[in-house]
Structure 1
Amino acid sequence: MSGINKVILVGHLGKDPEVRHLDGNVSVASFPLATSESYNKDGKRIEQTEWHNIVMWRGLADVAAKYLQKGKLVYIEGKLRTRSFEDKEGHKKYSTEIVAENFTLLGRKTDFESNSSSATTNNTTAEAEPETPKNLGTGEFVKDDDERDLPF
């Protein structure tokens, strides 16, 4: 029987995505994402922030590099992945990351006017015309002509 490895996060980018190109021109983008929750303890409001390492591959990484930037609110779906590596001294280290499978920019329409619109991406492949954004790279780009704000 197989298990389920699914992560859903809504948070703010801690910095702009860092994009690298590996052999075969494979793109990989990485950035920290902050999620916060608040609660009351002894009559005081406590806010706790958790930092997550996000990794995006190939076309999704290219779309992220184009549309994501520090401070933006984003919804991310992906899976948890732990990898090991050796540091400079030869000690084995472990890193746990979220390998994103899709993302959606969140916020009011005015938040995206400099980027044309809000973006929703997934692992489908298609081309897009810049004037009528629909699909970019490996992601889907959705233009919302409504003046309404998103419900969250």
Structure 2
Amino acid sequence: MMNRVVLVGRLTKDPDLRYTPNGVPVANFTLAVNRTFTNQQGEREADFINCVVWRRPAENVANFLKKGSLAGVDGRLQTRSYDDQDGKRVYVTEVVADSVQFLEPRGAASQDRGGDFGGSQFGGGGQRSQSPSYGDQRNQGYTRTDEDPFSNDGQPIDISDDDLPF
């Protein structure tokens, strides 16, 4: 039998870090995961999926992720139940994360999300880096880190069928 869940989405609020009576850290958070299709109005809907992570990864999630952060979760689906204050049975379905991947550089979730996917470079701390100028040696097959090598500059793309991997 198999029970495996892999998700990529954005946190809907800051993670909630708590500790069990034995001192074990546990963090709860909700991921908004976009659906691959649009509704009848042409809008893209999202699913809001509750996640829980334990121990050291829980502390890392609480310390480094916040509302709007892009995260990847690998784990398993779990259903549990409890009786609430009124004696009603409450069922909870959540993803128990084995690992949580931070998919953006620190601070990128708070920046304006323009057409350049978050407005920052990985590892750059939100600052764009500029290529140094080395005299007359201009762009000898290298791309500056602040240029999009895949942007459409209006020129046709020269690619043969032999270059395609399929």
Counterpart in the other structure of 1:135: none
Q: Is 1:89 matched up with 2:75? A: no
Report the Cα distance in structure 2 between the residues aligned to 1:8 and 1:91, rounded to whole angstroms.
32
Q: What are structure 2's unaligned runs of at least 5 residues?
A: 110-121, 125-144, 149-166
Report the Cα distance in structure 2 between the residues aligned to 1:102 and 1:49, rounded to whole angstroms.
22
Larger Rg belongs to: 2
Q: How does 1:33-72 map to 2 (within 5 A)?
A: 33-40=31-38, 44-72=41-69
Report the Cα distance in structure 1 between the residues aligned to 2:17 and 2:123, rounded to whole angstroms.
22
Q: TM-score, normalised by structure 2?
A: 0.62
Moved over 3 A (4+): 107-110
Q: Is 1:100 matched up with 2:97? A: yes
Q: What are structure 1's unaligned runs of at least 5 residues?
A: 119-146
Q: TM-score, normalised by structure 1?
A: 0.67
Matched residue SS, 1:23: coil
Identify, as 1 or 2, the structure richer in strand: 1
- Residues paired across the two proteins, number: 115
Matched residue SS, 1:85: strand
Matched residue SS, 1:45: coil
Partner deviation per Cα, 1:63-109 (whole Å, 9 max, x = no partner): 11111110001111010000000011111110000000111111367
Report the Cα distance in structure 2 between the residues aligned to 1:102 and 1:117, rounded to whole angstroms.
21
Cα RMSD over matched residues? 2.7
Would you say the 8 A contact 1:38–1:45 is kept in 2?
no
Counterpart in the other structure of 2:133: none
Q: How does 1:90-129 map to 2 (within 5 A)?
A: 90-107=87-104, 111=108
Assess, with a 3 A threshold, how the Cα gap between structure 1 residues 81 and 40 changes in structure 2: closer, same or farther: closer
Deviation at 1:40, TM superposition (A): 4.7
Report the Cα distance in structure 2 between the residues aligned to 1:108 and 1:63, rounded to whole angstroms.
14
The structure, 1 or 2, with the larger RCO (C-alpha pairs under 8 Å, 6+ apart) is: 1
